[in-house]
Amino acid sequence: MEIGIIGLGKMGLNLASNLKDHGYQTKGMDLSEQARLAARREGIETYETISQMVASFTGKRVIWLMLPAGEITESVLKDLLPLVLPEDIVIEGGNSNYKDSIRRGKQFADKEVAYLDCGTSGGISGARKNACLMIGGNLNAFHSIEQIFKDVAIEDGYLYAGASGSGHFLKMIHNGIEYGMMQAIGEGFQLIEQSEYAFDLAAVAHVWNHGSVIRSWLMEIAEVQFSNSPHLEEYRGIVAASGEAKWTVETALEMDVAVPTIALSLFMRNISQEQDSFSAKVVSALRNGFGGHEIVTKTE
């Protein structure tokens, strides 16, 4: 089966390589020559424009977007819509607002093209080998390509979530929870760092990740980051917010549901733009560890 990936950045290239490893005829499109070159080194056929890539298919087209949410995704989908044909399938794997996914699903359905919103978790390493996927949209389309999701995901790591928008809705809530978890870990390690004891923070993360109630992948990342930088000396405590937690809080307000932990973790991201705390350094290090998110260092 032919699958085209639009967006060959950190997530897109790793997903394309994952698909290629599973025997799919994988091709990619990116405006960046550097990104296309990196993909070609992986044996992936590349194109400079969407129209070139779409025209290269010899049969049914499955086109998977891995782009930043917002204007970039909106613009690409606008360019893609006139090029696809009935029975084609478009998968949007970025962190889009679920309300945008509902609207886009209707636009593509008007052309008899299936649109699947695919919340994607697991970071760069997940995209490469063992993703966690939450898929919303056309059920028949999902069933027709379910094997693709099964192949690129970790065992039991994909879910058909329901109607259009449901996949990105789940990813939005997932990221809100993630904000709260990272903030709690960061605050805990700030207390440890500022205590009277000379703790080895990597050793603390290591033991907590063996049998404790709070063991997790985030704790694994904490151990790695503390091993590389025992007190996160080169980090500044400035942490960006992707927008997912903001949408989670806004949705909670619309639903009259209290989400104080997620809301406070979002506010702490905002506060981090103004002050330099150790807890924010930990959160920054965790984000860098799973998603390759850029960090602000002491030299910047």
Question: 106-157: per-residue pLDDT in tens?
Answer: 999 999 999 999 999 998 999 999 999 999 999 999 999 999 999 999 999 9
Q: Over 70: is that where the pLDDT of 174 sits?
A: yes
Q: What is the pLDDT of residue 276?
A: 75
Return the beta strands (E) in the chain as ranges: 2-6, 25-29, 45-47, 62-65, 89-92, 114-121, 131-137, 153-162
Q: What is the tens place of the pLDDT at every residue in 153-169?
A: 999 999 999 999 999 99
Domains, the chain, in order of start with CATH, read 2-164 (3.40.50.720), 171-273 (1.10.1040.10)
Name 279's Cβ contacts closer than 8 Å, sequence gap at least 6: 183, 186, 187, 189, 190, 237, 268
Listed residue (95, 94, 93, 92) closest to 105, CA to CA: 92
How many separate helices (H) and strands (E) can be counted in the chain? 14, 8
Q: Show which residues are catalytic.
A: 171, 178
DSSP letter assigned to residue 82: G
Q: What is the tens place of the pLDDT at every residue in 190-235?
A: 999 999 999 999 999 999 999 999 999 999 999 999 999 999 988 8
**Rounded to an integer, what distance in angstroms lies between the CA atom of residue 88 and that of residue 108?**
10
Model-level pTM? 0.91
Point out the least confidently predicted range of 48-57, 211-220, 257-266, 272-281.
272-281
In this prediction, residue 294 has a pLDDT band, given cuts at 50, 70 and 90, of: low
Q: Over 50: is that where the pLDDT of 300 sits?
A: no
Listed residue (259, 266, 264, 261) closest to 244, CA to CA: 266
Q: What is the pLDDT of residue 298?
A: 45
**Rounded to an integer, what distance in angstroms lies between the CA atom of residue 65 and that of residue 43?**
19
**Rounded to an integer, what distance in angstroms lies between the CA atom of residue 221 and that of residue 8?**
25
What mean pLDDT is predicted for residues 72-95? 96
Q: Which residue has the tokens 């690129």?
A: 152
Q: Over 80: is that where the pLDDT of 292 sits?
A: no
What average pLDDT does the structure give for the chain? 93
Q: In sequence order, what are the beta bridge partners of 131?
A: 153
Q: Over 80: is that where the pLDDT of 39 sits?
A: yes
Spatial strand order in the sheet of 25-29: 45-47, 25-29, 2-6, 62-65, 89-92, 114-121, 131-137, 153-162
Q: Count of alpha carbons within 13 Å of 241, Cβ hemisphere only?
A: 24
Q: Which residue has the tokens 């020559």?
A: 33
Q: What is the pLDDT of residue 295?
A: 55
Q: What percent of the chain has pLDDT above 90?
A: 84
Q: What is the tens place of the pLDDT at every residue in 237-252?
A: 777 777 888 999 999 9
What mean pLDDT is predicted for residues 68-97? 96
